[in-house]
A and B are shown apart, each in its own frame.
Chain A
Amino acid sequence: MIAFVAFSLNRAWQGFWRNSLMSLAATASMVLMLTLLSGVVILYFGLNATLNYVQGEVQVVAYLNDSATAQDVAQLKAQLQAMPQVSTVNYVSKDQALKNFQTSEPGVANLVDSLPSNPLPASFEIGLRDPSDYIDVATYLRGQAAVDSVQDIAKTVSQMTSVINVVSTVGIVVLVIVGLTVLFIIVNTIRLAVVARAEEIEIMRLVGASDAFIRWPFVFEGAFVGLLGAIITIGLLLLVQAPVASLLSSFFNVLPVQATAMVGQNVALMVLGTGVGIGFVGSYVSVRSYLKR
């Protein structure tokens, strides 16, 4: 058994470098596919996480008219607190909103200083006991004179859902096409490897090598192309992780940071599994069809 594994791995390694140009081309196409796969999956996860975050938000934000007096505000606050659906009411003044903005976006803080007046409205952040009461509370708030606008989550949610649907449909179609192409490239690479070793295979048969010794090195060779492609892809992803993460967090403003780390680990596992899997399946198919008997 040890002899078999050592022999197969050794031969797979030799086989890979024997026609290195072809092997590296196959690896490159594997990297391309896995990168594409990661991109689609990261985008999909990002959008979904954002959607969940938005949907799970049990908070209604009502922006107030600048013209609302302190009395209006106090009155509204009391009314809200009296509502059974409402758990907490937090008043954010214009000054507080500006401070929050400056802490969350230090890059543009100076820009705000140059404005003649504070553009940010005061708001109520209203915690709900049950997210499904959102519509009731939002409708009530819209009827109030002091309220300028209420964050419309329902609209955001439906927009995001359609974006996610488009991304996943297009992503799946493109991935299937690219995946089949890569599979074909692997099948062909291994077929060439089999042809290159025709002489050795003949000798192996004559001296009584079992089918496993003849076939498995090629399967390992294909799996190795997948493994190498996956490792390179993961390396590339790590390289671009920091810039992409900051891009994502500014794009999906609300996305919790820890979600990205978890997605990263899952993506790495997925890239590894897909790469090795396609390499394995492609070479197995190739060996099955080109090494009869």
Chain B
Amino acid sequence: MADGTPVIALRGVTKTYANGKSALRDVNLSVPEGDFVFLVGPSGAGKSTLIRLLIREELPTRGKVMLEGRDLARLSRREVPKIRRRIGIVFQDFKLLPNKSVRDNVAFALEVTGTPRARIKPAVERVLRVVGLSAQADQRPSELSGGEQQRTAIARALVHDPHLFIADEPTGNLDPLISWEIIQLLLRINEMGVTVMMATHNAEVVTALRKRVVGLEDGRVVRDETGAAYHPED
């Protein structure tokens, strides 16, 4: 946002699940537009809950989650899908449809949001070029390498021109070399002006890139610094 409104703003966010388990405790976080943030912390620290709050799969028990200045708890049912189109998200397990080609997997995101047919094709070809999969467009996910599958998922997440790109352990299933390719791609997306948040365990990547690191532990933000190293055993 040109006016300086942060893309992500969490104010005193606490999330307690129905079983009494506290996933997040009084979390404050602000991510300005164009930022690249690593979200780190051990399993169960609250990373996934934070992401689920950002895409409004969950609502906070207390506090406010704001996306581009809008309180997600105040969105009407109809507005939720529209907000989600402004967020591109990829996961460790890619979530591709096995019976569709790369092209159709990406096009699916536009079809299910009612995009006219004529606009789908050029948009799909464009994002496939961005992720470098134009040549594999007709292949099925099973014929692709893990890295190519994740790039397909990234293309699908990009096709709505999101303002925020969330990657939840995107390299968790990939070997180090391929992981770097994916990170490079996320950096390029960030250079295009998209705010990127990446949850990861990959210390090597976090340390090498010297980007902003937000550390969660036991539901609390335990560190938030730029250019720091990351040691998972901390």
B114 touches A3 (CB 8 A): yes
Q: What is the minimal beta-carbon distance from A32 to any residue of chain B, in angstroms? A: 33
B83 touches A210 (CB 8 A): no
Q: Report, as a range, how many residues of chain B touch the other chain.
A: 20 to 34
C-alpha spacing A136/B89, complex, angstroms: 90
Q: What is the minimal beta-carbon distance from A132 to any residue of chain B, in angstroms? A: 64
B117 touches A208 (CB 8 A): no
Residues from 149 to 166 in B contacting A, C-beta threshold 8 Å: 156-157, 160
| Nearest chain A residue, comparing its CB with the CB of B95 | A203
C-alpha spacing A46/B116, complex, angstroms: 52
* 0/1 interface trace, chain A 1-19, chain B, CB 8 Å (1 if under): 0111001000000000000
Which residues on B sit within 8 Å (CB–CB) of A210?
78, 81, 113-114
**Contact of B81 (CB < 8 Å), options: A4, A200, A211:** A211
A200 touches B114 (CB 8 A): no
C-alpha spacing A209/B87, complex, angstroms: 12
**Contact of B114 (CB < 8 Å), options: A7, A202, A203:** A7
**Stretch in B32-40, B104-112, B210-218 with 4+ CB within 8 Å of A:** B104-112
A203 touches B113 (CB 8 A): no
- Tell me if A288 is interfacial: C-beta within 8 Å of chain B: no
- Tell me if B139 is interfacial: C-beta within 8 Å of chain A: no
C-alpha spacing A128/B200, complex, angstroms: 97
- Tell me if A204 is interfacial: C-beta within 8 Å of chain B: yes
C-alpha spacing A208/B88, complex, angstroms: 10
* 0/1 interface trace, chain A 200-217, chain B, CB 8 Å (1 if under): 101111111111011000
B114 touches A213 (CB 8 A): yes
A206 touches B112 (CB 8 A): no
C-alpha spacing A4/B157, complex, angstroms: 21
* 0/1 interface trace, chain B 84-126, chain A, CB 8 Å (1 if under): 1111010000010100000000001101111111000000000
Q: Is the interface of A mostly helix, strand, loop or mixed?
A: helix
How many pairs of residues, A versus B, come closer than 8 Å at their CB atoms? Answer: 57
Which residues on B sit within 8 Å (CB–CB) of A7?
111-112, 114
Q: Report, as a range, how many residues of chain A touch the other chain.
A: 10 to 19
C-alpha spacing A213/B114, complex, angstroms: 8
Q: What is the minimal beta-carbon distance from A221 to any residue of chain B, in angstroms? A: 16
**Contact of B55 (CB < 8 Å), options: A203, A206, A209:** A206
Which residues on B sit within 8 Å (CB–CB) of A203?
95, 97, 108-109
A208 touches B95 (CB 8 A): no
Answer whether A3 and B117 are a contact pair too, CB < 8 Å, given A203-B97, A203-B108, A208-B160: yes
Which residues on A sit within 8 Å (CB–CB) of B85?
207-208
- Tell me if B21 is interfacial: C-beta within 8 Å of chain A: no
C-alpha spacing A200/B89, complex, angstroms: 15
A207 touches B160 (CB 8 A): yes
C-alpha spacing A7/B109, complex, angstroms: 12
A208 touches B97 (CB 8 A): no
| Nearest chain A residue, comparing its CB with the CB of B84 | A208
B156 touches A207 (CB 8 A): yes
| Nearest chain B residue, comparing its CB with the CB of A205 | B84
| Nearest chain B residue, comparing its CB with the CB of A211 | B77
A208 touches B156 (CB 8 A): no
Q: What is the minimal beta-carbon distance from B109 to any residue of chain A, in angstroms? A: 4
Which residues on A sit within 8 Å (CB–CB) of B109?
203, 207-208
C-alpha spacing A203/B97, complex, angstroms: 9
Which residues on B sit within 8 Å (CB–CB) of A202?
95
A209 touches B112 (CB 8 A): yes
C-alpha spacing A202/B109, complex, angstroms: 12
B95 touches A213 (CB 8 A): no
Which residues on A sit within 8 Å (CB–CB) of B83?
208
C-alpha spacing A200/B111, complex, angstroms: 12
Q: What is the minimal beta-carbon distance from A13 to any residue of chain B, in angstroms? A: 15
| Nearest chain A residue, comparing its CB with the CB of B120 | A3
Which residues on A sit within 8 Å (CB–CB) of B86?
208
Interface centre among B81, B84, B108, B156 (most CB of A within 10 A): B81
A residues with a Cβ closer than 8 A to B are 2-4, 7, 199-200, 202-211, 213-214
B residues with a Cβ closer than 8 A to A are 55, 77-78, 81-87, 89, 95, 97, 108-109, 111-117, 156-157, 160
Known: A3-B115, A199-B97, A211-B77. 18 other contacts (CB 8 A): A4-B114, A199-B95, A200-B97, A202-B95, A204-B112, A205-B81, A206-B95, A207-B157, A208-B82, A208-B83, A208-B85, A208-B113, A208-B160, A209-B81, A209-B113, A210-B78, A210-B114, A211-B81
> Could you show 22 A-B contacts with beta carbons less than 8 Å apart?
A2-B116, A7-B111, A199-B95, A199-B97, A203-B97, A203-B108, A203-B109, A205-B81, A207-B84, A207-B156, A207-B157, A208-B84, A208-B160, A209-B81, A209-B112, A210-B81, A210-B113, A211-B77, A211-B81, A213-B112, A213-B114, A214-B112
